[in-house]
């Protein structure tokens, strides 16, 4: 690796650190932000945020940081499955490509798919949940039955059917398909929040003043549901990334030669014994980023609901990150009767 690459790496990490510092400054003006950045509390969440920022910075700066082109087969005879060295920090893969460079470029694809898929899922989930909660009645019944179907179908089979039918699924279609099969949990969550908020006095006041449904939902109801939505979004990004990696591993996600962390593992799986690094690196990258997403969601949840954090009991509530979004996004014991003061 050339000195320029090391320099770019340092600069990218510094930029990530500065970015987090800027987020912190902005966040300190809000109550939840202050709670999130309180020293001592939510340490894993702040580490997670830093890690996500670093991953995003490295992804953006990939062309500068990566010492080689991600698809360049450097020397198919001399550099096949080489262990990590100074020139190749994470070794080379079966096709003599530099694993570190592919990891950096793969971060662009994996993070982008995760973020975009999550945005689609959260948008659709919020819209459906708000509609069901606001209008109730027949709209609610129809939408929630649809959600029931969505939650009880193992999503990967739906995606397998879709992906299998496209000769080669374009990346946009893949993101859309992932997003449109990932919103069911969010819609239930938002519906519950909207149901609770729509009876509050300020919503009645807004209605009495003649505000229409759109204004009431967007201006008065949804801001009150923003907390859980943010938590879902943070967690959802990780879940979508796991899903993408699984689909790419099966050869129906992100298509080669464009590197994603999932298809890097798929490419390297047959040479796992000869070149373990080419499998370990992208897998650990996925694991770290998904853990970071879950940790941030965890801290965000506590910061947004200080009472919950003080109770301590569920301070680190369960995070089924590798589960479907269909798993309960919040306290699974919520339905059980409780006698909490």
Partner 1 sequence: MAAWLVRRLVAALAILWTVATLTFVAIHVAPGDPFLPSAERPVDPAVVATLHRRFGLDRPLPEQYARYLAAVATGDLGVSFSQRRPVAAAIRDALPHTLLLAAAALLLDYVIGIAIGLVQAATAGRRLDEALTVVTLMIASLPAFWVALVLLLVFGGWLHWLPVAGAYDPALYDALPFAGRIADRLRHLALPAATLGILGAAATARYQRAALLEALGQEYVRTARAKGLDERRVLLRHAWRNALVPITALVGLALPFLLTGAVLVETVFAWPGMGRLAADAITLRDYPLVTGTAVTACAVVVLGSLVADLLLQAADPRVRVHG
Burial of 127 (0-12, 13-18, 19+ CB in 10 A): middle
**Least distance in Å: CB of 283 to partner 1?**
4
- Are 313 and 288 spatial neighbours (Cβ–Cβ below 8 Å)? no
**Least distance in Å: CB of 291 to partner 1?**
4
The Cα–Cα gap between 91 and 52 comes to 24
The Cα–Cα gap between 194 and 280 comes to 44
Per the DSSP assignment, residues forming a β-bridge with 98 are 92
Residue range at the interface with partner 1 (CB under 8 A); choices 8-16, 151-159, 207-215, 224-232: 151-159
Q: Which of 36, 95, 100, 249 binds partner 1 (CB under 8 A)?
A: 249
The Cα–Cα gap between 235 and 298 comes to 8
- Are 292 and 208 spatial neighbours (Cβ–Cβ below 8 Å)? no
Q: Is 40 in the site for partner 1 (CB under 8 A)?
A: no
Residue (of 312, 222, 310) closest to 35 by Cα position:
310
* Residue number, 29 or 339, with CB nearest to partner 1: 339
The Cα–Cα gap between 161 and 190 comes to 29
By CB under 8 A, the count of residues binding partner 1 is 70
Q: Is 272 in the site for partner 1 (CB under 8 A)?
A: yes
What is the token pair recorded at 322?
């590798």
Q: Which of 23, 41, 153, 309 binds partner 1 (CB under 8 A)?
A: 153
Q: Give the per-residue contact string, 294-313, with partner 1 (x = CB under 8 A; - = no).
A: xx--x------------xxx
Q: Which of 290, 296, 304, 329 binds partner 1 (CB under 8 A)?
A: 290
Q: Is 165 in the site for partner 1 (CB under 8 A)?
A: yes
* Residue number, 4 or 142, with CB nearest to partner 1: 142
Residue (of 168, 157, 177) closest to 251 by Cα position:
168
Q: Is 262 in the site for partner 1 (CB under 8 A)?
A: yes
Q: Is 161 in the site for partner 1 (CB under 8 A)?
A: yes
Q: Which of 238, 253, 259, 299 binds partner 1 (CB under 8 A)?
A: 238
* Residue number, 307 or 338, with CB nearest to partner 1: 338
Q: Which of 87, 123, 291, 309 binds partner 1 (CB under 8 A)?
A: 291
Q: Is 166 in the site for partner 1 (CB under 8 A)?
A: yes
In 3-state terms, what secondary structure has residue 16? helix
Q: Is 333 in the site for partner 1 (CB under 8 A)?
A: yes
Residue (of 277, 242, 289, 283) closest to 99 by Cα position:
277
Positions 49 through 78 that interact with partner 1 (CB under 8 A): none
Q: Which of 74, 197, 242, 300 binds partner 1 (CB under 8 A)?
A: 242
* Residue number, 86 or 157, with CB nearest to partner 1: 157
**Least distance in Å: CB of 261 to partner 1?**
9
Tell me the CB-side half-sphere exposure of residue 319, using CA atoms within 13 A.
21
The Cα–Cα gap between 237 and 114 comes to 5
Angle of helix 184-197 versus helix 137-152 axis, rounded to 10: 150
Q: How far apart are the first and last CA of the chain?
A: 60
| Residues binding partner 1 (CB under 8 A) | 44, 145, 148-149, 152-158, 160-167, 238, 242, 245-246, 249-252, 262, 265, 269, 272-273, 276, 279-280, 282-283, 286-287, 290-291, 293-295, 298, 311-314, 316-324, 326-328, 331-333, 335-340
């Amino acid at each position: 690796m050339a000195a320029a690459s090391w320099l770019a790496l340092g600069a990218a990490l510094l930029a990530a650190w500065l970015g987090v510092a800027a987020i912190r400054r902005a966040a300190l003006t809000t109550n939840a932000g202050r709670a999130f950045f309180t020293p001592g509390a939510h340490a894993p969440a702040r580490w997670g945020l830093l890690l996500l920022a670093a991953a995003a910075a490295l992804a953006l700066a990939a062309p500068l940081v990566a010492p080689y082109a991600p698809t360049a087969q450097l020397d198919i005879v001399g550099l096949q499955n080489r262990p990590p060295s100074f020139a190749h920090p994470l070794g080379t893969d079966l096709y003599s490509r530099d694993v570190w460079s592919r990891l950096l470029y793969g971060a662009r694809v994996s993070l982008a798919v995760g973020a975009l898929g999550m945005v689609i899922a959260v948008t659709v989930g919020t819209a459906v949940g708000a509609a069901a909660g606001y209008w109730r009645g027949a709209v609610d019944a129809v939408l929630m039955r649809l959600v029931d179907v969505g939650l009880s179908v193992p999503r990967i089979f739906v995606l397998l059917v879709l992906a299998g039918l496209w000769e080669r699924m374009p990346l946009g279609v893949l993101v859309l398909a992932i997003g449109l099969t990932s919103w069911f949990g969010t819609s239930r969550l938002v519906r519950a929040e909207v149901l609770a908020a729509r009876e509050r006095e300020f919503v009645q006041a807004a209605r009495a003043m003649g505000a229409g449904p759109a204004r009431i939902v967007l201006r008065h109801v949804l801001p009150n549901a923003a907390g859980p939505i943010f938590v879902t979004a943070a967690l959802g990004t990780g879940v979508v990334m796991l899903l993408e990696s699984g689909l790419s591993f099966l050869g129906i996600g992100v298509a080669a030669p464009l590197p994603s962390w999932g298809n890097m593992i798929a490419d390297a799986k047959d040479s796992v014994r000869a070149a373990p690094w080419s499998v370990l690196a992208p897998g650990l990258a996925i694991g770290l980023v998904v853990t970071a997403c879950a940790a941030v969601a965890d801290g965000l949840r506590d910061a947004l609901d200080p009472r919950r954090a003080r109770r301590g009991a569920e301070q680190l509530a369960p995070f089924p990150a590798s589960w479907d979004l269909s798993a309960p996004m919040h306290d699974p014991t919520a339905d059980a009767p409780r006698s909490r003061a």
